[in-house]
């Protein structure tokens, strides 16, 4: 009997997959049997990541494009479907935040944050889901953040985009629920990746987050891999429109 957690035969596109959370989730999907398409803007880095997955026994290909570029994103999904015959899983992971005081955030800063962390997710989901509903099976997974529900200074644009992304998850899920497609969301807590190296380099801030987390540690990128596999397969078939918080308990304690 096939495992409900097996992704064998599935094709998955993971955005922002050249490092951090995106790459860890891509590795998890590949280990579960999916052919993974790695997205990012730097083809050289993506090729190195592809080689890592292949060396580990997985299957990966590269789709280098800026998620803000609608034409390039549409073309990439068309190419995936032409090459493999189907795109079954979309992990909307790419995001961008501007760490500035509220009164210092420019309109351009705000717009870039929304374009990457929200608008691109809407466009990619709409494009990918069109094929999914035709085939009667699909999984869309948004990557939000605990910052969608708890605030932190100098982070307003990112907080806003992630809160809206959870709304997009619920709205889209309700519309495609009868057509074989589920739409769910992962909200990670504070995860140690290269994107927040500067934040973690400050001992006071590092310890503040660690002590604010009941598990008394920062998360690792691999902490999200299992959740991504769960939401990408048959194990979560009766679950849609939900947000799974993976934060070491940060949002349930004071």
**Number of folded domains that form the chain:** 1
pLDDT at 254: 87
pLDDT at 97: 80
Looking at the domain assignment, is residue 60 inside a domain? yes
pLDDT at 116: 96
Q: Give tens-digit pLDDT for 157-167.
A: 999 999 999 99
Looking at the domain assignment, is residue 195 inside a domain? no
* Burial classification of residue 6, based on how many CB atoms lie within 10 Å of its CB (0-12 exposed, 13-18 middle, 19 or more buried): middle
Is 190 labeled as catalytic in the residue annotation? no
Looking at the domain assignment, is residue 3 inside a domain? no
DSSP assignment string, 47-100: HHHHHHHHHTT-EEEEEE--TT-HHHHHHHHHHHHHHHS---EEEE--------
Is residue 142 over pLDDT 60? yes
Q: Where are the beta strands (DSSP E) in 99-236?
A: 138-143, 181-188
pLDDT at 199: 87
Looking at the domain assignment, is residue 205 inside a domain? no
Looking at the domain assignment, is residue 46 inside a domain? yes
Looking at the domain assignment, is residue 90 inside a domain? yes
The residue range of the domain holding 123 is 11-189+220-243
Please report which confidence band the pLDDT of residue 154 belongs to, taking 50, 70 and 90 as the band edges. Answer: confident
What residues are paired with 183 via a beta bridge?
Answer: 140
Residue whose C-alpha is closest to residue 115's, from 153, 146, 73: 73
Looking at the domain assignment, is residue 91 inside a domain? yes
Please report which confidence band the pLDDT of residue 55 belongs to, taking 50, 70 and 90 as the band edges. Answer: very high
Domain with 179 in it: what CATH number?
3.40.50.720
d(CA 249, CA 223): 13
Is residue 1 over pLDDT 80? no
Catalytic annotation, pick one of 96, 158, 190, 218: 158
Q: Give tens-digit pLDDT for 211-253.
A: 999 999 999 999 999 999 999 999 999 999 999 999 999 999 9
For the whole model, what pTM was predicted?
Answer: 0.97
Q: Give tens-digit pLDDT for 72-115.
A: 999 999 999 999 999 999 999 999 888 899 999 999 999 999 99
Is residue 70 over pLDDT 80? yes
Please report which confidence band the pLDDT of residue 177 belongs to, taking 50, 70 and 90 as the band edges. Answer: very high
Looking at the domain assignment, is residue 250 inside a domain? no
């Amino acid at each position: 009997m096939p495992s409900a957690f097996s992704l064998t035969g599935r094709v998955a596109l993971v955005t922002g997959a050249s490092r951090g959370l995106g790459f860890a989730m891509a590795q998890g999907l590949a280990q579960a049997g999916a052919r993974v398409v790695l997205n990012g803007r730097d083809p050289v880095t993506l090729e190195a990541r592809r080689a890592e997955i292949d060396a580990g026994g997985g299957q990966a290909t590269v789709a280098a494009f800026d998620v803000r570029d609608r034409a390039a994103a549409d073309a990439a999904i068309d190419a995936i479907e032409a090459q493999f015959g189907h795109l079954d899983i979309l992990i909307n992971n790419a995001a961008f935040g501007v760490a500035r005081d509220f009164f210092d955030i420019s309109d351009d800063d705000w717009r870039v944050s929304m374009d990457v962390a929200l608008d691109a997710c809407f466009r990619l989901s709409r494009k990918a889901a069109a094929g999914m509903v035709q085939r009667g099976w699909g999984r869309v997974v948004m990557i939000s953040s605990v910052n969608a529900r708890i605030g932190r200074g100098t982070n307003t644009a990112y907080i806003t985009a992630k809160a809206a992304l959870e709304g997009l998850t619920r709205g889209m899920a309700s519309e495609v629920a009868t057509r074989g497609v589920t739409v769910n969301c992962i909200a990670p807590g504070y995860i140690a990746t290269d994107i927040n190296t500067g934040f973690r380099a400050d001992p006071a801030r590092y310890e503040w987050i660690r002590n604010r987390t009941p598990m008394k540690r920062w998360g690792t990128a691999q902490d999200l891999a299992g959740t991504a596999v769960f939401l990408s397969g048959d194990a979560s078939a009766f679950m849609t429109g939900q947000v799974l918080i993976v934060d070491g308990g940060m949002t349930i304690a004071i």
